[in-house]
Each structure stands twice: as C-alpha cells, then as structure tokens.
Chain A
Amino acid sequence: NAGVTQTPKFQVLKTGQSMTLQCAQDMNHNSMYWYRQDPGMGLRLIYYSASEGTTDKGEVPNGYNVSRLNKREFSLRLESAAPSQTSVYFCASSEAAGSNQPQHFGDGTRLSIL
C-alpha cells in the first residue's frame, strides 16, 4: 500500500545547483500534481498533469519544470535553485482532474537551499 512515494525525503542544495524531485504513484491515477508548502501557508500548486502526456502551470510555476515520464511518475526539476525555493514539496495524485476527485499526497521532500 505505497500510495504516493516521493524521493528524496530531505535535500540541501547550494544556490545555483540543480536537482530533480521524483514522485511515483501506484494507484493507477490519471492526474498528478506538485505543490509547495511554506510556513503558515497552505499548499500552492506549482504544476499539474491532468493525464499522461500533458502538463500545465499552476499558481507558482516560475523556476520549475516538470516531466510526466509515464502514468506512474511525475518529476519536478529545479534548474538553478534559489533560496526562495526553500520549502516542503508535495506530490499528489487523483483518479482524474475532475471536480469531485480527492487528492492523495506523498509525505513530502524537505528542500533547503543555502
């Protein structure tokens, strides 16, 4: 019963470094999402993929890129990390991008950029 798995769980980067956050789901869901969570704030949507082969920008896409590798996997890439990108990143999935679908979340990647 893995659900949504994110790797790594923790990462420290230096400004300007790049890295890719990995996400995989085993629920055969069509839609996947990347959020960031900052202290005292709710989650903000970075990018989402309504179905395999499609990706769309969310509320805060600047500085990020995504790849929907296949139905199971959706990765988030920081090309040139900045301190403002220090955050907890959550991946989520849902059966479809439709209105009444709850989202299932991974346990997050805690990213610090020095």
Chain B
Amino acid sequence: SQQGEEDPQALSIQEGENATMNCSYKTSINNLQWYRQNSGRGLVHLILIRSNEREKHSGRLRVTLDTSKKSSSLLITASRAADTASYFCATRSNMLTFGGGTRLMVKP
C-alpha cells in the first residue's frame, strides 16, 4: 500500500521556472523524505523533514510539511535540465513507505 501520493504524476516546465510537487499521506509519521530517481538509476536522498518541522531548505530545494493536512510540498527553484527525473516522497512511521512519484521534465 502506498502511504504517500504525489501530485501531479507528471510535470513539464521550461528551464529557469520553478517546479512544485505535492505529497499527501494518510497516517501519522515520524518524518517525510524526498528522493530523486534519474532514469535507469537508483533513488538518491534529497532532504528529510521531521514531523515537528514546518519548512526546510537545501540549496535550490524547499520542502514544507503540514501535519494537520497530512501533506508536503517540494519546490525546486530555477530548474535546470539536469533536474529532469522522478521525485518520490517517502513517509516514515514503522518503515519507509514510498509514493508513486512525480515525473519532472525540464526543457532546455
């Protein structure tokens, strides 16, 4: 069963634009993590936000968490072609549970 559900499933933007991906989940969590997967590769950890945090930044990434709405968003600012990948949220309660992902395409 997928705990997290990403929205949209696919997103296509121009280089330089911002990309926003959303994640909703169903049960209480300890933390929420975002991962990136390039085509044909494994997942790479991007950022972790704890349940008592509301916002976190890492370089061009900004993650927010709203536990009352059971939702999170990942914002990538000033996107680059190299950001083209699938992005997954993963929620942590007993174990790490992944959503179905957002496929992001950044056109040069």
Contact = CB atoms under 8 A, between A and B. Distances in A.
Q: Which DSSP category, helix, strand, loop or mixed, fits chain A's interface?
A: loop
A105 B33 CA distance: 14
Interface residues of A, number: 22
Contacts of B50: 100
Contacts of B40: 107-108
Interface stretch (A40-48, A64-72, A77-85): A40-48
Contact of A42 (B41, B42, B101): B101
Interface string B24-64: 00000011010000001111110010100000000000000
B42 A107 contact: yes
B2 interface: yes
Contacts of A16: none
Nearest to A106: B42
Contacts of A99: 30-31, 92
A108 B100 contact: no
Contact of B96 (A40, A103, A107): A103
B41 A102 contact: no
Interface string A12-44: 000000000000000000000001000011111
Given A58-B95, A100-B31, A100-B48, A40 B100 contact: yes
- What are the 9 tightest A-B residue pairs by CB atom distance, in nearest-first order? A42-B98, A105-B42, A102-B45, A99-B30, A43-B98, A105-B43, A107-B42, A42-B99, A42-B100
29 contacts: A41-B2, A41-B100, A42-B88, A42-B97, A42-B98, A42-B100, A42-B101, A43-B43, A43-B98, A44-B98, A48-B95, A59-B1, A59-B95, A59-B97, A90-B42, A90-B43, A100-B30, A100-B48, A102-B33, A102-B45, A102-B48, A103-B45, A103-B96, A105-B44, A106-B42, A107-B40, A107-B41, A107-B42, A108-B42
Interface of A: 4, 35, 40-45, 48, 58-59, 90, 92, 99-100, 102-108
